[in-house]
Amino acid sequence: MKIRLAAIIAPAAVAAAFIVSPAFAADSAAGKTTYDGKCKTCHLADGSGNPGMGKAFGVTIKPLGGAEVQAMSDADIKKVITAGMGKMKPISGVMGADADNVVAYIRTMKK
């Protein structure tokens, strides 16, 4: 009986270890706070992109709620935040959980 019980419990315990609990989920409200402090100047509050900043840098800032950005994986968006892309430099001080939270906030902008 002990062996059968172990055979049932062990796989369930392993499966449970791979389930992300809400305690570890990204926090879009915390992401908004970070976004407001670090991203809003160039991307604006609604994520549409500041045309003046785009003109100054000679780029078109992609709308964060648009299909192109929203089609990116969370990992790819996080990489842009932490490593930069094109003329966008890495955002200093935004890494790890803070970057995950910003990604979660960007997901709320989906049009």
Output the DSSP codes for 15-27: HHHTSPPGGGS--
pLDDT in tens, 73-86: 999 999 999 999 99
Query: In this predicted model, what pLDDT tens digit does every residue of 4-47 receive, in sequence order?
Result: 544 455 455 444 444 444 456 899 999 999 999 999 999 999 99
Q: Residue 60 and residue 75: Cα distance in Å, rounded?
A: 22
**Domains detected in the chain:** 27-107 (1.10.760.10)
Amino acid at 65: G
